[in-house]
Amino acid sequence: MSILAFLEWVGQTPWSIALHESLYMYPLLESTHVMALGWFVGLAVMFDLRLLGWTFRTVPTTEFTSRLLPWVQAGFAVMFVTGLLLFYAIPVRNYQNIFFRVKMIMLVLAVLNIWYFHNRTERSIGEWDTQARPPQAARVAAVASILLWLSIVVAGRMIAYNWFDCDIQPQSDFINWAAGCVVPLPP
Ligand code: HEM
C-alpha cells in the first residue's frame, strides 16, 4: 500500500472526517497550534539569543538552560500533538502540500541541530558556561536554530494557500513531483 493510499484511507475514517468538518474543534486546534508557537518558538529564540551573547549575558548558560528547557519541551510537545491532529484532519491535502513538505524537512533539520548542540557542542560547556559570548559552535547552532524555526513558521502559514495543490492542474512537472501529485495521463 502506498503512503498516498494509506492517507486516503485515514482521511475516510470517521474521526478524521468529524475533525475536518467540525465547526469549533478544528479552529480550536489550529488556535492552540498557533498559541503554542508563540510559547515554544518564543522561548527557543530567547535561548538562542543567550547563546549569541545578545541577552542575559550575566546568566550562566546552564542556569538558563535548566530553567527554560522544561517550558520549551512542553511547548514543543503541544506543537507536535496539535500539528499531528491538524494533519490527521486533512491528511491527503497536507501530504500533497509543498509547504507542508518543506516544513517537515526543516523540522527534521531543526531537531538535528538541537541534537548536535546538546550531544556535541554542549560537552565543553564547563569551559564557557559563564562567558557572556559563547564560542562560535554555540553561536552557529543559535543562528541555524533561529533561521530554521522562522522558516518553519512561514512554511506552516503558507500551508493554507493552495497555489500548488494537486487538484489545480496543470502544474509544472517539478511541482507535481515535489508535491507528490498523481496526474492522470491524457486519453
Ligand atoms: C514543532 C514545530 C512547529 C511549528 C513552529 C509549526 C508552525 C505552524 C504555523 C505557524 C502554522 C500556521 C498556522 C496558521 O496561521 O494558520 C502551522 C500550520 C500547520 N501545521 Fe504546524 N508547526 C509545527 C509542527 C507541526 C507538526 C509536527 C505538524 C504535523 C505533523 C504540523 C502540521 C500543521 C498543519 C497541518 C498546519 C496547517 C493548518 C491549516 O492551515 O489548516 N505542524 N504550523
**Is residue 19 within 8 Å of 88, Cβ to Cβ?**
yes
The tens digit of pLDDT for each residue in 50-77 reads 999 999 999 999 999 899 999 999 999 9
Cα 157 to ligand 1 centroid, rounded to whole Å: 7
Cα 19 to ligand 1 centroid, rounded to whole Å: 16
Look at residue 6 in the predicted model and tell me its pLDDT: 97
Residue 79, ligand 1, Cβ within 6 A: yes
Q: Write the residue with the smallest CA distance to atom 16 of ligand 1.
A: 157
Q: From the alpha carbon of 153, which atom of ligand 1 is closest?
A: 10
Residue 159, ligand 1, Cβ within 6 A: yes
Q: How far apart are CA 95 and CA 180, in angstroms?
A: 8
Look at residue 170 in the predicted model and tell me its pLDDT: 86
Q: How far apart are CA 73 and CA 114, in angstroms?
A: 12
Cα 127 to ligand 1 centroid, rounded to whole Å: 38
Look at residue 49 in the predicted model and tell me its pLDDT: 97
pLDDT at 185 over 80: no
Sign of the C-alpha dihedral, residues 73, 76, 82, 84?
negative
Cα distances from 76 to residues 73, 92, 111, 131, in angstroms, run 5, 24, 11, 28
Q: How far apart are CA 46 and CA 52, in angstroms?
A: 10
Residue 76, ligand 1, Cβ within 6 A: yes
The tens digit of pLDDT for each residue in 139-177 reads 999 999 999 999 999 999 999 987 888 888 888 999 999
Look at residue 158 in the predicted model and tell me its pLDDT: 95
Domains of the chain by residue range: 3-179
Look at residue 1 in the predicted model and tell me its pLDDT: 87
Residue 50, ligand 1, Cβ within 6 A: no
Lowest-pLDDT choice from 2-11, 27-36, 131-140, 175-184: 175-184
Look at residue 85 in the predicted model and tell me its pLDDT: 97
pLDDT at 32 over 80: yes
Cell numbers describing residue 1: 500500500
Q: What does the mean pLDDT of the chain come to?
A: 94
Q: From the alpha carbon of 157, which atom of ligand 1 is closest?
A: 12
Averaged pLDDT for residues 99-128: 95
pLDDT at 184 over 90: no
Q: pTM of the prediction?
A: 0.90
* Type of residue at 133: R
Those residues whose C-beta lies under 8 Å from the C-beta of residue 88, and which sit 6 or more positions away, are 10, 15, 16, 19
Q: From the alpha carbon of 76, which atom of ligand 1 is closest?
A: 1
For ligand 1, mutation pick of 94, 108, 150, 159 (most atoms within 8 Å of CB): 159
